[in-house]
Amino acid sequence: MAKVVERPQEKTALRVASKPVSRLDGIENVTGATKFGADFSLPGMLWGAILRSPYAHARIRSIDYAKALEAPGVVTVATAADFDDDVVEPTSRPHNVFAGETALYLGEAVAAVAAVTMEDAEAALELIEVDYEPLPHVLDPLRAMEPDSPVIRHGDGGEVDRTEMSFHSSVASSAEDLEESGNVSSQVQFGRGDIEEGFAEADVIREGRFTAAMVHQTYLEPHAALADYSPSGDLKMWVTSQGQFYVRDTVARLLKLPAHKVIVQGTAIGGGFGGKMTLLAPIPAILSKKARKPVKVVWSRSEELVAANPAPASVIDVKIGAKRDGTITALQGRVVMDTGAYPGSPMSTATMLLGSCYVFPNMELEGFEVLTNKVSVGAYRAPGAPNSAHAVENVMNWVAQDIGMDPLDFRLKNAISEGERWPNGQPLPDVGAVEVLEAMKDHPVWGTPLVQGSNGKPRGRGAAIGCWSGGAGGSAATIKLEADGSFSVLVGTINLTGNTTSIAQVAAEELRVPLEYVSVHLGDTNEAPFGPVAGGSQVTYTMSLSAAAAAQDVLRQMKSVAAQRLGADPDDIEFDEGKMWAESDPDRYVTYRRISDEAVGSANGPIIGTGHGKPERGNPGFAGTIADVEVDTETGLVTILNLVGVQDAGFAINPLSVKGQIQGGTIQGVGYALLEEIVYDEDGRVRNPGLLDYRLPTAADVPDVDAVIVEKHNPYGWKGTRIVGEPSIVPPGAAITSAISDALSIPLHNMPLTPERIVMALRDAKANGRSNGRSNGRPS
Amino acid sequence: MDYPLQLTVNGIPVKRIVEPQVRLLDFLREDLGLTGAKEGCGTGDCGACTVLIDGDPHHSCLTLAVEAEGAAVTTVEGLVSDDRLNEVQSAFVSAGATQCGICTPGFVVMATAYLRDNPNPTDDELRMGIAGNLCRCTGYETIVTALHSVIDGKVERIEVAPEPLELVPEPEGE
Amino acid sequence: MRRFDYAAPTQVFEACALLADRGDEARVLAGGTDLIVQMRERDRRVPLIVSLRNLAELKGISQNADGSLTIGAMATGNEVHHSALVQNHAFFISEGAELLGSIQIRNRGTLGGNVGNAAPSADAAPPLVAANATACLVGAKGTREVPVGDLMTGPGQLALEPGELIQSFNVPAAPAHTGTRYVRHVPRREMDIAVVGIAAQVTLEDDLATIKDASVVLSAVAPTWPHATTAEQALRGQPVNDTTLANAGEAAAADSRPISDVRASAEYRRMMVDVYTRRALATAIERARAAV
Ligand SMILES: Cc1cc2nc3c(=O)[nH]c(=O)nc-3n(C[C@H](O)[C@H](O)[C@H](O)COP(=O)(O)OP(=O)(O)OC[C@H]3O[C@@H](n4cnc5c(N)ncnc54)[C@H](O)[C@@H]3O)c2cc1C
Ligand code: FES
Ligand code: FES
């Protein structure tokens, strides 16, 4: 099996951390007891429905909703006019709840109705009269960059809002935004060395233009939010979102309410993956404020696919040069990212990540974020990174093939390590690129040569790696010692991926009690200490630090109570399994329960510990995928035979949960590689707004993922923890497309590689006289 | 137009007046407060709304409530018996087959019926059998593993009530 | 969903009377796996739903004295798929029914609904056409038999008189040495809509090496479920070999009239008609030989 870098002595000393613990909320999930966004209702509640622009680009001359207001059951209607000008940021999607003067994409919200029943609300939408003046629109980002393209304008300029992207990545892109023109809303450049010289030194140069489609995060739970505006001016909300404080701040600002008057309770969340932030919450909020009644809005799946914030399509050019001995000499790359109708795409990250896995002595990278009349994009698990990896890693495999080197050896020779610099100049801490590559090399799948089947369907193998910088936000937690000696932890970050379990494990570990002694509760924004947005894989990374700090605070207070009772010095107090004693007299002890009793009656009062945490810095996580595929060349259907996902988790607090993350991320990568794509027609309408034609992989379409955890200690995380959630989605698209390319012996440039794309690429290759017989690029 | 409706839900007879456009899913969630069945799509594509109608798995999002007249409906809330999870539920907990959990109710209802009707499927049959239920978080592996443990008869039903904490005894003489 | 009226009559004549009375305003509801979806997407308003759930005449599957098979319009996908009668009689009808969505869809969706919805991409209907099945239509004036192949006149269009509905399908017994196959192309293995579907029924001569008769019906590549007539001609009387199959594939591709849509381009569809016609025929021939 793969080599795992561990510290065994340290692990055996741990009681719950590092153990595969099943989710604490497991029983609630399997009995239907867990309450998600749409599961909350209130007496007298109204239902909201949203009217959307039927045009990809249109001036809104007027909106007349008088008739809708008279319709049965209708209580109120909201439009852009309900928000003051000074709270609307022209270029920020979250602050443009409704289209103002112009609708910028088909499906943009124009108005919303609150009515007694959903049927009434939907019926009333048709009674709203909107006078649109259609404007010319542009959908293709390359076309949008041309000087004569229709131009997308957001009123009079304004700062570009990149808040959501910053949740995911702690890496600043050093290059300032260069001159912005037309629909190019942002531009970056990174350079190093002399690019021409670099290519001149190379023996082999390969290049290609790669496209990746717009894909949707497709959390299975659509957006939902319930708002209840009380007569006293409190706005209480139940929202499914990755960041309840972010929702609170956005709503407070838009409605001009004091932050403490907007009380947001994050609900259980049915998946987010970066895409569930604050798109919906302001709508029920404004409707409830106007109606003075609770209002619930739940998006349909088609609203999700048409009007949420999917991951961007991109066109990426990559050119890599290397010497015969495998030394890379140069990298040139250009990213064009389609951001849709609002800026805020992960373009600069994607551009930088082109040069983030290997040492490139000479490099020239540029990136363009381009506006089009499509829904604006958002974050999706390692935003932009799968697009970059798809381009770079395919070219890496071609170069390895041309110089006759094993693709993993080629990568190992050039892999980035501590002290090397990313394109933005930031020196790297000790990353696990080499360890991940070595674990891939050691894996039995890689060690076994691929055997061609007897059914005439060619097989191929692909390998790829990728990385993600990850967030490193600040967080806090409080822990209370309860009357019976158990503990309750209060946090403000929602339970996205089982992190509640990890937080409980950390607290139990620090407090030296069994896991059953600890419960974790998500408080609303007024109860709970601040917790960061659950994005950028940062929850466990940062919350483990604050939970550990809070536990230490609790222990300090407990020790002082125990010391007093035992007549000892607090510094001499030892503790374990629910009791404390003085080092000098181990036979006399006080129980945690007694300490609680005592504290409640004392002048210091009950024991509540607070902890803050912010990792000193982000530390990128690396992941690798090996894929074996078989291709039916007549139909283009691909079968994945083997799928190996390797990831450096630093220190796996809960290996079960880490493996689950690797498996889930890898299978999402299968969607990127083979199936998923939001398709637009010429008018800017999504042609596949449902889950029958927007195809997620089903259980029948995917193999098991052999998930391998590598542990390379991260000095900035609790016991060496690293970000976990995101890296696993980065390399699979590249590995699988590369495996298909290997099977067919033709270069392939698109994601997803649908059966049709594969058949057409084969036909074109045949027409151009390229063989489609098999030639394996790897020396065997 | 109001329509009288009689059916049993999780073994309990229910009598209500409903409008015909109300889907069984809405009826269960809004009228009866049984929010275990989820709406992931509303169009039959995800399986999150799966309930049993007279023992067979159906999409409650594509079933009008009035079409369940006289039927015995079982939701995920009805799978627990004798204070224990059923085998599929127990296996899901033990195998870590739930991440965000939104797909879980539909999956356990579907798999409970599927394994009752097909106690010995091959891995491929099993995967085809549950292909009407989408999960975005797990990549299905832990779900399939959980179901194999049911097939292999290796599952102990988990008790739903938590065990009382074993407290450290107070020292003598306190 | 918009509000509507609902009736669930227990007599076929009542249902027909309601339909005749309300004309375009009424719509029959079988499993609802097409209709509810269409009504939800707001583009389809139906003032009156007439549920078929209480009509006993529309249920069940039975063999008749003349060897033909009667399948009730309300037979669900799962019933048709698992029916031994259907499997022995015309295997590809079971095969087509098995492809409807997922198990949950097949517990609701019916054979009558698959034909009634008249989608060019239907999977359960084309085998009925290829097997020369007739539909028994019932209306105010009684019943009449119409070949299923003549029933669909275009996407979403059926040649039904006002007040008529489909009561059942009658599938004639196939001659000796007949084998069938329904196969479709989709990107996912389950839960998908056909990009191309081919229903093939082949009857061999006693030598088991010559094709006596063949029926090839196309799905998702024309406005209806047409026979690929040139392909059928190219098969009759020919020896079973790769050339014959290749010729039939090419002919079927030429017979198809696909459009480009979100699922595939017309060009790719045509290529797949060729591939899947060959594959469907090969399996049908294998089964014909095994059938004896
Ligand atoms: C997720 C999903 C996946 C699907 N996958 C497939 C697939 O793979 N292949 C496929 O072919 N289909 C598929 N379908 C479509 C659908 O399930 C089938 O067409 C099914 O057979 C429809 O039957 P139903 O009883 O549900 O029809 P309904 O929705 O009840 O009715 C469909 C139409 O037929 C009419 N109708 C019904 N019964 C009669 C009758 N007896 N006489 C006259 N008219 C009648 C109705 O008025 C309506 O217009 C899928 C649907 C969904 C939601
Ligand atoms: S909600 Fe019913 S199948 Fe998705
Ligand atoms: S666990 Fe989240 S969708 Fe399945």
C26 and C110 co-located in one domain: no
SS3 category, A580: strand
- Of C171, C204, C219, the one marking the end of a domain is C171
C193, closest residue in chain B (CA to CA): B45
Distance of alpha carbon A641 from alpha carbon A644, whole angstroms: 10
A375 Cβ neighbours under 8 A, 6+ residues apart:
A105, A107, A108, A306, A307, A308, A309, A310, A340, A341
* Out of C36, C41, C103, closest to residue B132 by CB: C103
Summarised one tens digit per residue, pLDDT across range A234-286 is 999 999 999 999 999 999 999 999 999 999 999 999 999 999 999 999 999 99
Q: Domain holding C39: CATH number?
A: 3.30.43.10
Instruction: Give CA angle at A374 (A370, A376), nearest 5°.
Output: 70
Q: What distance in Å separates residue C49's CA from the closest CA in chain B?
A: 9
Q: Does C102 touch chain B (CB under 8 A)?
A: yes
- Say if the Cβ atoms of B21 and C2 lie within 8 Å: yes
Chains that touch B (3 or more CB pairs under 8 A): A, C
> Average pLDDT of B85-106?
96
Parts of chain A belonging to CATH 3.30.365.10? 473-613
ipTM of the complex: 0.96
CA of B44, closest atom in ligand 2? 3
Cα B125 to the center of its chain, rounded Å:
20
Cβ contacts (< 8 Å) between A674 and chain B: which residues? none
Kindly indicate the confidence band of residue B169, based on its pLDDT and cuts at 50, 70 and 90: confident
Kindly indicate the confidence band of residue B133, based on its pLDDT and cuts at 50, 70 and 90: very high
Which runs of consecutive H residues, i.e. helices, occur in A652-721? 655-670
DSSP A521-545: EE--TTTSPP---S-TTHHHHHHHH
Distance of alpha carbon C277 from alpha carbon A173, whole angstroms: 55
- Say if the Cβ atoms of B135 and A588 lie within 8 Å: no
DSSP A402-468: HHT--HHHHHHHHB--TT-B-TTSPBP-S--HHHHHHHHHHSHHHHSPPPPPSSS--EEEEEEEEEE
Cβ contacts (< 8 Å) between B170 and chain A: which residues? 591, 593-594
pLDDT for the residue numbered A24: 63
C47 and C60 co-located in one domain: no
Q: List, as own/partner pairs, every contact residues C183-187 make where C-beta atoms lie below 8 angstroms and the sequence separation is at least 24, other chains included.
A: C183/C95, C183/C276, C183/C279, C183/C280, C183/C283, C184/C99, C184/C123, C184/C219, C184/C220, C184/C276, C185/A635, C185/A755, C185/C272, C185/C275, C185/C276, C187/A637, C187/A674, C187/A675, C187/A695, C187/A754, C187/A755
Distance of alpha carbon A491 from alpha carbon A479, whole angstroms: 9
Q: Domain holding C82: CATH number?
A: 3.30.465.10
Cβ contacts (< 8 Å) between B23 and chain C: which residues? 1, 36
Distance of alpha carbon C113 from alpha carbon C71, whole angstroms: 13
Q: What distance in Å separates residue C172's CA from the closest CA in chain A?
A: 34
- Say if the Cβ atoms of A663 and B92 lie within 8 Å: no
Parts of chain B belonging to CATH 3.10.20.30? 3-78
C202 and C153 co-located in one domain: no
**pLDDT truncated to tens, each residue of chain C (292 aa)?**
888 999 999 999 999 999 999 998 999 999 999 999 999 875 668 999 999 999 999 999 999 999 999 999 999 999 999 999 999 999 999 999 999 999 999 999 999 999 999 999 999 999 999 999 999 999 988 999 999 999 999 999 999 999 999 999 999 999 999 999 999 999 999 889 999 999 999 999 999 999 999 999 999 999 999 999 999 999 999 999 999 999 999 999 999 999 999 999 999 999 999 999 999 999 999 999 998 5
Q: Does A668 touch chain B (CB under 8 A)?
A: yes
| CB C139 less than 6 A from any atom of ligand 1 | no
pLDDT for the residue numbered B174: 58
Chains that touch C (3 or more CB pairs under 8 A): A, B
pLDDT for the residue numbered C42: 59
Positions in chain A whose pLDDT score sits under 50: 1-12, 157-159, 171-180, 772-780
- Say if the Cβ atoms of B132 and C191 lie within 8 Å: yes
**Count of other CB atoms within 10 angstroms of residue A208:** 16
What CATH superfamily is the domain B87-151? Answer: [2Fe-2S]-binding domain (1.10.150.120)
Architecture of domain A473-613: 2-Layer Sandwich (3.30)
Amino acid letter for position A587: D
Residue C110 CA to ligand 1 center (angstroms) comes to 6
Parts of chain A belonging to CATH 3.90.1170.50? 37-135+218-307
CATH 3.10.20.30 is held by the domain B3-78: yes
C77 Cβ neighbours under 8 A, 6+ residues apart:
C97, C98, C100, C101, C105, C106, C107, C109, C110, C111, C114, C124
CA of C30, closest atom in ligand 1? 30
Q: Is the pLDDT of residue B107 over 70?
A: yes
Instruction: Give C69's strand partners.
Output: C63, C171
Number of domains comprising chain C: 3
Q: What distance in Å separates residue A517's CA from the closest CA in chain B?
A: 7
Which CATH number, 3.90.1170.50, 3.90.1150.10, 1.10.1240.10, 3.40.50.300, labels domain A37-135+218-307?
Answer: 3.90.1170.50
Q: Chain A 516-575, CB below 8 Å of chain B: which residues? A: 516-517
Instruction: Give A189's strand partners.
Output: A366
Residue span of the structural domain in which C254 resides: 178-291
Report the candidate in A168, A167, A193 with the shortest Cα–Cα distance to residue A365: A193
CA-based end-to-end distance of chain A: 20
Residue B59 CA to ligand 2 center (angstroms) comes to 6
Which runs of consecutive H residues, i.e. helices, occur in A85-126? 118-125
- Say if the Cβ atoms of A675 and C187 lie within 8 Å: yes
